[in-house]
């Protein structure tokens, strides 16, 4: 994980580059880098503030029937799925 000190140093470097930029394009690129670095820092601090706790997964046992006789219905024509 990148430390916040490293991110702040990189933000300072990009800001210095933006201040001494020879043209508008270089200035905009440096400021975009500053924005991206700020977003990384803010997203990291959100993750540090509210870390996701591991969730317990509850596994359910499959339901097994002790009585393995086919279901008998009054309006069924037979035992096959294809008997309509």
pLDDT tens for residues 49-76? 444 456 666 666 666 666 666 667 777 6
Can you give the pTM of this predicted structure?
Answer: 0.53
Task: Pinpoint the alpha helices (H) of 20-78.
Answer: 24-49
d(CA 64, CA 67): 9
d(CA 7, CA 41): 7
Rounded mean pLDDT of the chain? 78
């Amino acid at each position: 994980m990148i430390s916040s000190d490293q991110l702040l140093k990189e933000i300072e470097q990009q800001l210095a580059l933006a201040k001494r930029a020879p043209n508008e394009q270089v200035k905009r690129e440096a400021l975009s880098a500053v924005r991206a670095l700020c977003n990384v820092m803010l997203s990291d601090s959100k993750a540090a503030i509210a870390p996701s706790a591991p969730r317990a997964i509850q596994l359910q046992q499959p339901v097994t029937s002790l009585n393995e006789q086919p279901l008998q219905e009054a309006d069924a024509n037979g035992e096959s799925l294809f008997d309509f």
